Each structure stands twice: as structure tokens, then as C-alpha cells.
Amino acid sequence: MASELALEEIFSRYKADPFDYVDVHSVHTGRVTFKAALGQEVVAPSGEWLQVPGTPLYEIDRERNPRLVGSQVNGIVAAVETQLDGCFVEAGVKLMTIKHPLKKKEIIENILKDVLFLFPAPETAKYFFAMDIQSRIDKKGARAVSVEPGDEVLTMSLMKRDTPIYYTGERGVIYSVYFKPGVSVPQGEPLFGVCAPEKLPLIQKIITRVKAEWDSEH
Amino acid sequence: MPTTAGSGANRPSRTELLHKLQRELEAPDLAVFGDTCRVGRYGAFVGSVIESHSQLPRAMDYARSHIAELALKGRSAASGTVILADRLSQGKGRFTRSWHAPPGGLWGCMIFADTLLPRWRGLMPLATGVSCCQAVREHCGVEAVIRWVNDVLVEGKKLAGFLVEGYREPILGEEYALIGFGINVNNGEFIGELENSAVSLAELCGGPVDLAGLTTTFLAKLACNFGILLAEEEFFLREGRFSGVAGRHLLLQRWLALSDSVGKRIVYGFDVVTAPQYQAEVVGIDEYGGLQLRHGDGTLTTEYSGEIRYL
């Protein structure tokens, strides 16, 4: 459980620097050409279904198949690994960093991610809650639904292949849900955050304090 | 779980199945492998065990119980085990949709020990749709087509549906894919939401269809197409490309030849029946079977799950 001291440190950090620094990595192997420059403002995908791609960041060419990769967040390009421009890179190599200004809601979510047990996506896929969990959420809301290890909690859907996902983590209530049905979640990203019953007062304290202290600023 | 052993009248013999698979390997598009035996060797697991039941609640549930029971004894289920049922009393489609499965249809599932690399697992549902479409065309002469991902349609009505469910057996931790199939063959009566949207082969052919023969053909096609999945994976790991035209996956080539989705205006949704999301035009499928779509403003996106309906 995060201590009072650790929380103070977290609050101070966000007060001093209310930004996220989002690293952008190569999506696969290939030759990289940068499309965004240091200091450039970039925007996230937009449109009703996020069908309008974000600002182009780099192009990666594998076997004469060029792929343009766009920004997933709003912000400013804060660092570019310019020495890699035109070079062949392996998958997962850091190419640039985007400085993303955090909104109050994002600050709360970020702090909560330090406190909650985060259940990650096992594969890049679309997810929906298991029928039993969903009906309990519909009736009482997610924060009234508790889960424990071994519970069938989600269904992972990929190319009409549905795989039940069993919960592995600490027992508690589903406090935050980070996915939307029908929206793809990258592998390793959190799907939901679980709060152990004894941590609930701490969570409430975090939310109250962020709302109070960041009200005038964001 | 209440089950009863079927008469076996509709159960194909293993020998007949392997003979059929042998003939499948003569398909001209398989020549790219040079040695087509590799496809046969990889696909021959299909039907390693064939169980026949007169009735099951759901074949997928039975398969899970079967795997779990064996695991309790420290054993693994045979990959390729096919579970057939004359009738399913609690058949279901995706989400909360019902699937009416009375006597006369081809209902069941196959247990596949999932040894495919994760990135190619998405092609399993496509292989299943391709197998059904090929079987129906060959056995009945019916011009069936595939709607992404793997619905098999005739004249816009649904002839067959498939569902692939992953299952990690909890004791030994082995991973399986359960390939569920439902093909309307001699069952002619559809109820509820299926009344105007489903069709059977008997209806299309003007009389009963040889169910055992169709079952054998379908399983032989399934063996060949799963053989292609595994052989193509090996080919890719060795050559850095697939064996089809311009390095394309052979299974995707087969899918494209049987599907009428490309070029269609569609409505897309994760659950398109209850929550349609947007309209677009299908422009192709990518190397993982993802559906490539062009939107009204010209932008392109690719969907890897969900479903479509034609406009």
C-alpha cells in the first residue's frame, strides 16, 4: 500500500511537472524516417471513430512496405533520436518522446495507477467483461463488483476468436476501467484497476485532494 | 453433463477422412509448397478422434469438460478431436445470440492444441469459414460466399456460423482453441431472429443432403486448411515470407477467392446487431486477416475483431 510519504512525493511531482512523457517506439523492424521534428506540436487521432490518424511521427519501411505511424497523444515533441533517421532499427526501439499536458482527470488516473492493482491486456485485442461480471456491473456499477483470483473476468476477442481471461491479482473491487468495448487495447496496457477494500479510504483521499488542489490550475 | 452416445450414422471414418485429405492435397494452389505432403502431415491431426453424440447442451462446453477430465488424470486431450452432436439443446452464437441446432444439421467442435504462434492465431477462424465454403460448393454445388470474418452465406442468408474459443486448461496449463461449427444442412425450420436470415442446404438443394458425406468433406477441408496454417507458419519462419502470390499467406488467398466482402459498403460494429458503429467500404484484408476499411472522409482503418453487415 502506498504510504502517506510516497503519496506526498507523487503529489509534489505532479505539481512541479504536470506532464506525461510518452515514449514512441518502433512498431516493428525496418528503416525509419522521421516525420516530426523537435518542438513540433502533434495531435492524437480524432473523428467520431478516431478514424483520422494523429500527426505523422515517423515512417518505417520493411520489405518495401512503408508504414506511417501517427501520434496517439496531443503534445509537443520533446526529444527525437535523430541519429536513427534513415537507419534500420529493431522492433521496440525508442524513437522520440512526446510531452503531453495532463488534465486533472488524467492526473487522478495516473496516481490511481500507482495505487491500484492493474490487470494488463494479454494480447492486443478487443475486450469485454464476462457476462456474469457485466450483469453485476449493469446492476450495481463497477465499484460494487469484487473479483478474486481465478474469476472469469473478461473475454478477449480477436478475429472472432473469443478467449476467456481469468483474473490473477489481489482480491478487491473493480475501481477503474480503462477499456471500452469495441476499442482495441495494446498488449500490456491496463484493462482495469482493482482496489483492495483496505485501500478505498486512500483512494478517496487522492481524488479529493487532486480535485481541490488542481481546480484552479486545469 | 447429460450426454448420450449417437448412433454414429453420421460419423465419418478416419480412413475415409484421410483419403479425402489426400485428394485435397492435389489442389493446384498447393503446388507452391513443392512437397504438398507437408500440408497433409500438418493437417492430418484433424479427426484424430471423432466422437458422436445424439444430443449435447453445447459442444464447446463438452469439449472443455472433456479436456478438464483428462487433465485430472494427468493426460491431455488429443489435438484434432472432433465432437459431433445430432442436436444441441443450448447452442449459442456470439454475445447473447441463440443458435438453433435441431437434428439434421452439422453441429460440433474440434479441439486444437493451440501451437500456432500468437500472431497467426487470428487466421484460425478464417480457415474454418474457408473449409465450410469449399465443402458446401464441392459437395452440394451451392455458390456459398464468406462474409468477414467467417460467416458463410448463400443469397444473403446465413448457412453456417463458427466460433473459436480459447481455453487454458487450469491444471496442466495447456492452451487449446475450440473450433465450434454449425452448418444448416437438413434442418429446415428456423425460429425467432433466424427465421428470415438463415437458410439450409436442403432448402437450397430441394431435398435432403448426405450429411455424413458433407461432414467428411468439411473435415477434410478443415484438415487441409489447418495444414496450410501450420505449413505456412513454418515457411514464413524459414523464408521470411509466405508461399502465395507476392508473398501472401495461402489461406488468405483462398479466403479472398471465396469472399464477397471486398468492395462492399458495410456497417461495422463490435456487436453489429445491437450496437452498429459506423459505415465504410471494404478495401481488402491485411496479412493477419484484419478488415481494411475506407471511411467517408477517405481515411483508412483496419479492424481485427467485430463483425459486419452488408448495406
pLDDT digits (tens, 9 = 90+) for B2-52: 444 555 566 788 999 999 999 999 999 998 887 788 999 999 999 999 999
Of B149, B241, B270, the CB nearest to A182: B270
pLDDT digits (tens, 9 = 90+) for B195-224: 788 999 999 999 999 999 999 999 999 999
pLDDT band at B1 (very low <50, low <70, confident <90, very high): very low
Neighbours of A43 (CB within 10 A): 14
pLDDT digits (tens, 9 = 90+) for B105-127: 999 999 999 999 988 999 999 99
pLDDT band at A208 (very low <50, low <70, confident <90, very high): confident
Q: Which residues of A touch B271 (CB under 8 A)?
A: 181-182
Average pLDDT, integer, range A102-128: 89
The answer as to whether A3 is a domain residue is no
Domains located in chain B, CATH noted: 4-256 (3.30.930.10), 262-310 (2.30.30.100)
- Within 8 A by CB and 6+ apart from A51, the residues are A45, B278, B295, B297, B299, B301
Per DSSP, the residues of chain B read ---EE--STTPPPHHHHHHHHHHHTT-GGGGGGS-THHHHHHHTTTTSSEEEEEEBS-HHHHHHHHHHHHHHTT--PPTT-EEEES-BSS-B-STT-B--B-TTSEEEEEEEE--S-GGGGGGHHHHHHHHHHHHHHHHH----EEETTTEEEETTEEEEEEEEEEEE-TTT--EEEEEEEEE-SS-----GGGTTTB--HHHHHTS---HHHHHHHHHHHHHHHHHHHHHHHHHHHHHSS-SSGGG--HHHHHHHHHB--TT-EEEEETTTTT---EEEEEEEE-TTSPEEEE-TTS-EEEESS-EEEE-
For residue B295, what is the nearest residue in chain A, using CA coordinates?
Answer: A51
Number of domains in chain A: 2
Q: Are residues A112 and A96 in the same domain?
A: no
Neighbours of B256 (CB within 10 A): 16
pLDDT at A218: 47
Q: Which residues of A touch B96 (CB under 8 A)?
A: 131
Q: Are residues A93 and A109 in the same domain?
A: no
Residue A15 has pLDDT above 90, yes or no: no
The answer as to whether A5 is a domain residue is no
Q: What integer best gives the mean pLDDT of chain B?
A: 91
DSSP state, residue A8: H
Q: Are residues A112 and A209 in the same domain?
A: yes
pLDDT at A35: 97
Alpha-carbon separation of residue A206 from A104, A107, A194 (angstroms) = 12, 10, 15
pLDDT band at A69 (very low <50, low <70, confident <90, very high): very high
A68 touches chain B (CB under 8 A): no
| Helix ranges restricted to H, chain A | 4-16, 104-115, 131-140, 200-214
Q: Are residues A58 and A81 in the same domain?
A: yes
How far is B220 from chain A, CA to nearest CA, in Å?
22
Q: Are residues A111 and A178 in the same domain?
A: yes
Q: Are B125 and A161 inside 8 Å of each other by CB?
A: yes
Q: Which residues make beta-bridge pairs with B177?
A: B112, B166
A49 touches chain B (CB under 8 A): yes
How far is B244 from chain A, CA to nearest CA, in Å?
16
pLDDT at B2: 41
Single residue among A68, A101, A134 that ends a domain in this structure: A101
For residue A123, what is the nearest residue in chain B, using CA coordinates?
Answer: B118
Q: Which residues of B touch A161 (CB under 8 A)?
A: 121-122, 124-125, 164-166, 177
B276 touches chain A (CB under 8 A): no
pLDDT digits (tens, 9 = 90+) for B69-88: 999 999 999 999 999 999 99
ipTM for the predicted complex: 0.77
Q: Which residues of B touch A181 (CB under 8 A)?
A: 270-271
The answer as to whether A182 is a domain residue is yes
H or E segment to which residue A173 belongs: strand A172-177
Q: What is the largest CA-CA distance in chain B?
A: 58
Q: Are B297 and A47 inside 8 Å of each other by CB?
A: yes
pLDDT at A1: 45
Percentage of chain B lying above the pLDDT 70 cut: 96
Percentage of chain B lying above the pLDDT 90 cut: 73
Q: Are residues A88 and A161 in the same domain?
A: no
pLDDT band at A108 (very low <50, low <70, confident <90, very high): confident
CATH number where A94 lies: 2.40.50.100
A56 touches chain B (CB under 8 A): no
Q: What integer best gives the mean pLDDT of chain A?
A: 89
How far is A138 from chain B, CA to nearest CA, in Å?
15
Q: Are residues A111 and A182 in the same domain?
A: yes
Residue numbers of the domain that contains A120: 104-214
